[in-house]
Amino acid sequence: MAKKDGIWITGASSGIGKAIALEFAKIGCNVFVSARRAQELERLKDEAGKPGDNIYTFPCNVASSTNVDQTFKKINNDFEVHCLINSAGITSFKHAADNSANEINDIINTNLLGAIYSTKTVLPTFIKNESGTIFNILSVVVNKTFTRSSVYAASKMGLLGYSNSLREEVRKHNIRVINIIPGATETSMWAQEIRKEKGERMMNPESLARIIVSAYLQKDNLVTEEIVLRPVTGDLD
């Protein structure tokens, strides 16, 4: 019997990744959700109600290539991944001089290497199937310069370079590589006091999720390769 296929989302225990998981589950897709906090993934499944039947939890720390490989193998035992969404991400909002070596490693390992490790695991299947979709959740820091974001910008610009180069390699295999470039979005990435003060001006993760699902559902031989999403009223200052 053919394996059920579905969408693997990293960073799905909160914020944008969680909203994307719920949106895909609602339209009947199987969703494989990963993040470090297993209990939050279970909560997501419960919160989803009936569509939660389409959600399968696979806890994973994307900063560890070993853990990513093991997680992909576990998913692949029972299912086939046909779409990967790299949403796991962290930042520190500190000046460059104030970041500890550990913080720098964590941001680069999660945002840049984590997405690269996850992508590498799915590529052989996508190439064999001559089909697949990879979404990389980047950030407006790739288009605009902000302070207190130096390491975060380095991680996202690194991922932008990887994503663009990968796209040229794999387009001959009918693999779609889509860059999502969001501005401020109201999630736990922002401190509570900033969300209180500026939350009204931020986008909500559910709106982003709907755009991502619609890009995924695009048919024919076209692909929207890059989507920039910013609050109508502009970036936060």
Choosing from 100, 165, 188, 204, the residue that interacts with ligand NAP (CB under 6 A) is: 188
Q: CA 129 to CA 163: how far, in whole Å? A: 20
CB-neighbour burial class of residue 4 (10 A; exposed 0-12, middle 13-18, buried 19+): exposed
Question: Which residue type sits at 106?
Answer: D
3-state SS of the chain: helix, strand, coil percent to 5? 50, 20, 30
Q: Is 214 in the site for ligand NAP (CB under 6 A)?
A: no
Q: CA 86 to CA 83: how far, in whole Å? A: 10
Choosing from 6, 182, 209, 216, the residue that interacts with ligand NAP (CB under 6 A) is: 182
Query: Where is 186: in which H helix or E strand?
Result: none
Q: Is 189 in the site for ligand NAP (CB under 6 A)?
A: yes
Q: Is 35 in the site for ligand NAP (CB under 6 A)?
A: yes
Q: Is 137 in the site for ligand NAP (CB under 6 A)?
A: yes
Cα maximum dimension of the chain: 56
Q: CA 60 to CA 133: how far, in whole Å? A: 20
The one segment of 48-56, 81-89, 121-129, 171-179 that binds ligand NAP by CB under 6 A:
81-89
Length of the chain: 237
The one segment of 14-22, 47-55, 69-77, 94-102 that binds ligand NAP by CB under 6 A:
14-22
Q: Is 71 in the site for ligand NAP (CB under 6 A)?
A: no
Q: CA 52 to CA 147: how far, in whole Å? A: 40
For the bound state, the minimum distance from the C-beta of residue 6 to ligand NAP, rounded and expressed in Å, comes to 18
For the bound state, the minimum distance from the C-beta of residue 182 to ligand NAP, rounded and expressed in Å, comes to 4
Residues that bind ligand NAP (CB under 6 A): 10-17, 35-37, 40, 60-63, 87-90, 110-111, 114, 137, 139, 182, 184-185, 187-189
